Amino acid sequence: MLTTATGYVNYWLISILMLVGFYGIIATENLLKKLMALNVISVAIIIFYLNLGQKAGSNVPVLFGEELGTVAAYANPLPHTLMLTAIVVGVATTGVGLALLYRIYNRYGTLEETDVLKEMRSDS
């Protein structure tokens, strides 16, 4: 029973990390904190997929010399490749989000969601 419980510790920690991100989106009014909470969720998803891509007793999928071995002896590089792409896209999206928040702050003088929405309604 103990080995079964410890085998799922990674998934519990990932779930907690994702719930922290969801809480950050729901509980805070600050737009910058909401953007950072979205990044926490993104990290949790990336860790989840990397955790799924692991295989016990596997080797890296790089050939050294003439020794090939069997296909089952190598880890699948596709999840790691996809998550590397997700990290790059996440960084670019965060950069665009920060640029938008900078513009919002310059225009309205605050990053609090309710204040920005009030100002936007009074502008139109």
pLDDT digit string (tens) for 89-113? 999 999 999 999 999 999 999 999 9
pLDDT single digits (tens) 17-31 = 999 999 999 999 999
Distance from the first to the final alpha carbon of the chain: 62
Check: CB of residue 55 under 8 Å from CB of residue 76: yes
| Domain definitions of the chain by residue range | 2-54+71-123
- Rounded Cα gap, residues 20 and 49, in angstroms: 18
Q: Which amino acid is at 7?
A: G
> Is the full-model pTM beyond 0.85?
no
CATH number corresponding to 2-54+71-123: 1.10.287.3510
* pLDDT confidence of residue 3: 52
